[in-house]
Amino acid sequence: MKEPLVPVVPMSHTAHIRSHRKPRRTAQTTMAMRAGVAGGVLGTLAVAGASASAVAAEPVTQTLSLPTLTADLSTQVAQSAEATQQAAANYQLQAERDAAAAKAAKVAKADLAEAKEKAEAKKKAAEEARKAAAERATRDAERVILTADAGTAGGTSTAASTATASAPASGSVATVISFLKAQVGDAYVMGATGPNAWDCSSLVQAAFKQVGVDLPRVSQDQSTVGTDVSLSNLQVGDILYWGGKGSAYHTGVYIGNGQYLDAANPSKGVVIQDLSGYPASGAVRVL
C-alpha cells in the first residue's frame, strides 16, 4: 500500500537561522513581563510622587517663614510711619509756639512803645504844669507889687491887693488843657481815676487839680460849682455838663474852636469831639 502524501509547508527562508526564530511565549514569561511592566509603572509613580512631595515640601518651608518676615516688615513700616507722624506733629507744634511767641513779642513791643509815648506825653504835661505854676507865681508876685504900689498911690487897702493876688492866672487854663490832651487815647472805665483809665468826672477833677482847684468827684456836683456860663459865651477851660444842673450825668472841658475833651464812653475812651455833634446842657467856669 502506498503511504498517504503529507503536505509540505514551505519554511521561511530565514528559519534556519536561530536568531530569527521567534521564541515561544510561555505563561510564566507573560506573567513576568506583566509584573515587570507593573513594577516599572509603580516605580515611575513612586519616583514621580517622591519628586512631587519634594517639590511640594520646599514651598511649605518657605511659606512658613514668609509670614514672620512679612509681620516684622509691617511692624517696621508701622513704627516708621508713626515716628514720621510724631515728628511732623512736633514740628507743627513748635511752629505754632514760635508763631505765638513772635506775635506776643510784637504785641509787647507795640505796648511798650505806646507806654513810652504816653509817659513822654505825661512827662511833658507835668513839665508844662510846673512851668505854668512858676509863671503864675511870678505873675502873682508882680501883681502884688503893682497892686501895692497902686494902693499906696491911690489909697487902696491891703485887703484889695490880697484879693487881686489870689485871682487865678491865665497860665492855669493852659495847664489844664495840656494835662487833658496828654490823656487822649486812655481808656474809659466807670469809677476809674487814672492814670491810664478814667471816667468823665474823674478826668475833669484830675485836670483842675493840676492847678490847685479841688472839684467834686461826680458829675452832678461838678455842674454846681463856679459861675454859670452861657453856651454862647464859652471860654477855653470852661466845664461843660450834660443833663440838669445838679443832676448832670456827664462832664467835659471846652478846649476852643467848638471842641471839647472828655472821657466819652468805653468804646471811645478819652477823645476830642465837636460840640455841635453833642451839644452840652450848660457850662460853669472855675478859672
pLDDT in tens, the chain (287 residues): 555 555 555 555 555 555 545 555 555 555 555 555 455 545 555 545 555 454 444 554 555 555 555 667 777 777 888 888 888 888 888 988 888 888 888 888 888 888 778 878 777 777 776 665 565 555 455 444 433 443 443 433 333 333 333 334 456 999 999 999 999 999 999 999 999 999 999 999 999 999 999 999 999 999 999 999 999 999 999 999 999 999 999 999 999 999 999 999 999 999 999 999 999 999 999 99
pTM given for the model: 0.45
Claim to verify: residue 149 and residue 194 sit in the same structural domain: no
Q: Which of 143, 167, 191 is the last residue of a domain?
A: 167
160 within 8 A of 221, measured Cβ to Cβ: no
Residue 215: give its domain's CATH number.
3.90.1720.10
Q: Which of 167, 193, 212 is the last residue of a domain?
A: 167
For residue 115, CA distances in Å to 20, 128, 206, 262 come to 135, 20, 20, 21
Claim to verify: residue 179 and residue 286 sit in the same structural domain: yes
Asked if residue 48 is part of any domain, the answer here is: no
Asked if residue 177 is part of any domain, the answer here is: yes
Q: Which of 138, 167, 196 is the last residue of a domain?
A: 167
Query: C-alpha angle with apex 220: 216 to 225, nearest 5 degrees?
Result: 55
C-alpha cell at 101: 511767641
Asked if residue 34 is part of any domain, the answer here is: no
Asked if residue 204 is part of any domain, the answer here is: yes
The residue range of the domain holding 265 is 168-287
C-alpha cell at 107: 504785641
Neighbours of 171 (CB within 10 A): 20
Claim to verify: residue 172 and residue 279 sit in the same structural domain: yes
